[in-house]
């Protein structure tokens, strides 16, 4: 089965059946709807079900609503203090691990890589935590006078014990004279991080959007960069391209972003969205409220960067179009150099991915630019509209898995024997043991940026160093017979 780069649909279906046969009946029936052999036409029988509860006990790779709100949307807003409201754990595990880079001094005018929590104790559960929250808000303002706002990120207990964080936030906001935003992102809400993104977007909509008057003269070229969390500096590399096209970025959502930028985004002439899954909500809101058009773009790899630049330029005048073409011509030199260096080393290599809500499709082009092929991909927390966008990007027969379990990812890898696996830190070391090259595709494995022209070079280098590392030749001891390693 693995001699051809991509198995046929029938072969993939047989592989899926094989893996599902090991599940109990109920779970097998459920999982069958989430795993399909791709049909680029997106036919009904190949439609992947998504955004549905994970089965208990299967070792889902998903997180929770809090992770989607605190970890993704709100946490990177650098001049706000993000409170992990509830017990100590959630904030502890998400402390500084997502690599949302930001300028500013930690604890003075930047709180991104800090863990600020109400640290609930039993008495807070029994008697309610509103009094404590109010006190915590006072103390934050006292210790962090340059904070421009505070968001209250609810952990599970908040919604279960009937706390009124909205009332506390409203009262304290008035008293302390700064925005305090209650967010109902309790981890048990919804089925994954995804609802947390939505809840977080709604909180921005209700409390921040349109409240700024703009601290700058407006121009016709003002755009907002939405859905880029500046992992390893991604947003900076993307912003560079937009600026070289002659556009002016007035807001970053939310990597290295500020509350003032979010509050002033309604002044944008065009909203550019990278991570559609986590921030389409706010784009739709701005379209409805302010008639701001929005467009999706993809800054992974030359092909997608160039087509995205042209797509964005279409919204503007000839001057922008000319600058865009000039920039593309300059970038092409660098693209050629990168591809010349790395493509021969990666040509024909087969990639499996299991990532969040955007990258399982958005990175496909970048791999293809390097001569690599994605032979299996899936999302942790996508919706139907993400899969609709995915089918046509992949060949027939490629396996698509929604909310894959640890078991499935491992089994599919055993069947398909990819040359590279891209997933998260929970998966990483399994594949190291198996001798399959691996890159973390959430955190960029502590590297990056991967966006933009500068990011593509890093992406290519990192894939090369994973695939072509000499360490993979060391796995077998010379005295162990092949396949019989002790």
194-223 binders of other proteins (CB under 8 A) = 215-216
Any catalytic annotation for residue 64?
yes
CB atoms within 10 A of CB 381: 28
Rule CB under 8 A: say whether 176 interacts with other proteins.
no
Task: State in angstroms the smallest separation of the CB of 361 from other proteins.
Answer: 22
Residue 119, interface with other proteins (CB under 8 A)? yes
**Does 473 interact with other proteins (rule: CB under 8 A)?**
no
Cis bond upstream, residue 449 (ω within 30): yes
Residue 259, token pair as written in the block: 């509350």
CA 407 to chain centre: 23
Q: Which is nearer to other proteins, 114 or 393 (CB)?
A: 114
Determine if 113 is a binding residue for other proteins (CB under 8 A): yes
- Least distance (Å) between residue 18 CB and other proteins: 14
- Report the C-alpha gap between 67 and 324 in whole angstroms: 37
Which residue in the set 13, 42, 47, 115 belongs to the binding site for other proteins (CB under 8 A)?
A: 115
Binding span for other proteins by CB under 8 A among 43-51, 131-139, 202-210, 320-328: 131-139
| DSSP-assigned letter for residue 128 | -
**Among residue numbers 232 through 261, which ones bind other proteins (CB under 8 A)?**
232-233, 236-237, 239-240, 243, 249-252, 256, 258, 260-261
Q: Is 197 a catalytic residue?
A: yes
**Binding to other proteins, residues 135-154 (CB under 8 A):** 135-136, 139-140, 142-143, 145-146, 148
- Say what angle helices 452-467 and 234-244 make with each other, to 10 degrees: 140
Which of residues 43, 97, 307, 332 is near other proteins by CB under 8 A? 97
The DSSP string of 98-128 is: S-B---S-BTTTB-TT--EE----HHHHHH-
Runs of H (alpha helix) within 373-418: 384-391, 406-416
Query: Using CB under 8 A, which residues numbered 343 to 372 contact other proteins?
Result: 345
* Nearest-5° Cα angle at 141, 139 to 144: 100
3-class SS of residue 235: helix
What spatial distance separates the first Cα and last Cα of the chain, rounded to whole Å? Answer: 27
The answer to the question of residue 109 lying near other proteins (CB under 8 A) is yes
Stretch that binds other proteins, among 187-195, 309-317, 324-332, 352-360 (CB under 8 A): 187-195
Q: Which of residues 426-465 bind other proteins (CB under 8 A)?
A: 426, 428-435, 447-449, 454, 457-458, 460-461, 464
Q: Which of 44, 56, 329, 473 is the binder for other proteins (CB under 8 A)?
A: 56
What Cα–Cα distance (Å) separates residue 204 from each residue in 174, 180, 251, 281, 282? 18, 11, 14, 10, 8
Identify the active-site residue in 46, 67, 185, 354.
Answer: 67
Work out the number of other CB atoms within 10 angstroms of the CB of residue 219.
10
Cα–Cα distance measured from residue 289 to residue 351, given in angstroms and rounded to the nearest whole number = 42
Residues assigned a catalytic role: 64, 67, 98, 197
């Amino acid at each position: 089965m693995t001699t051809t780069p991509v198995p046929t649909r029938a072969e993939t279906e047989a592989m899926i059946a094989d893996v599902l046969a090991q599940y109990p009946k109920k779970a097998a029936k459920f999982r069958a709807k989430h795993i399909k052999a791709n049909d680029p036409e997106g036919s009904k029988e190949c439609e992947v079900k998504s955004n549905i509860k994970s089965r208990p006990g299967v070792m889902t790779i998903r997180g929770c609503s809090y992770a989607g709100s605190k970890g993704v949307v709100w946490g990177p807003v650098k001049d706000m203090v993000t409170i992990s409201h509830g017990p100590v754990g959630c904030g502890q595990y998400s402390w500084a691990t997502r690599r949302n880079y930001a300028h500013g001094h930690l604890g003075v005018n930047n709180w991104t890589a800090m863990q600020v929590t109400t640290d609930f104790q039993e008495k807070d559960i029994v008697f309610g935590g509103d009094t404590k929250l109010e006190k915590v808000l006072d103390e934050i303002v006292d210790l962090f006078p340059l904070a421009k706002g505070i968001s209250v990120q609810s952990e599970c207990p908040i919604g279960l014990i009937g706390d009124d964080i909205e009332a506390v936030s409203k009262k304290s906001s008035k008293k302390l004279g700064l925005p305090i935003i209650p967010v109902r992102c309790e981890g048990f809400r919804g089925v994954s991080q995804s609802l947390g993104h939505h809840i977080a977007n709604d909180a921005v909509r209700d409390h921040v959007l349109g409240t700024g008057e703009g601290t700058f003269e407006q121009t016709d070229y003002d755009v907002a960069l939405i859905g880029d969390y500046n992992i390893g500096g991604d947003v900076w590399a993307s912003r560079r391209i937009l600026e070289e096209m002659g556009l002016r970025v007035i807001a970053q959502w939310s990597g290295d972003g500020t509350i003032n930028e979010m509050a002033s985004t309604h002044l944008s002439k065009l909203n550019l969205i990278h991570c559609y899954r986590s921030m389409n909500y706010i784009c739709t809101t701005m379209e409805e409220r302010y008639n701001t058009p929005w467009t999706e773009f993809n800054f992974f790899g030359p092909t997608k960067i160039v087509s995205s630049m042209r797509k964005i330029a279409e919204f503007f005048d000839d001057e922008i179009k000319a600058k865009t073409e000039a920039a593309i011509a300059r970038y092409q030199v660098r693209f050629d150099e990168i591809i010349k260096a790395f493509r021969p080393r990666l040509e024909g290599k087969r990639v499996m991915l299991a990532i969040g809500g955007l990258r399982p499709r958005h990175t496909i082009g970048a791999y293809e630019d390097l001569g690599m092929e994605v032979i299996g991909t899936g999302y942790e927390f996508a919706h139907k509209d993400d899969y609709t966008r995915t089918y046509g990007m992949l060949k027939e027969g490629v396996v698509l898995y929604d909310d894959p379990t640890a078991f499935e990812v491992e089994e599919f890898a055993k069947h398909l024997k990819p040359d590279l696996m891209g997933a998260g830190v929970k998966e990483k070391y399994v594949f190291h043991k198996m001798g399959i090259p691996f890159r973390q595709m959430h955190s960029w494995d502590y590297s990056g940026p991967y966006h933009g022209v500068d990011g593509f070079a890093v992406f290519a280098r990192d894939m090369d160093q994973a695939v072509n590392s000499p360490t993979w030749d060391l796995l077998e001891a010379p005295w162990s017979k092949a396949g019989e390693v002790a």
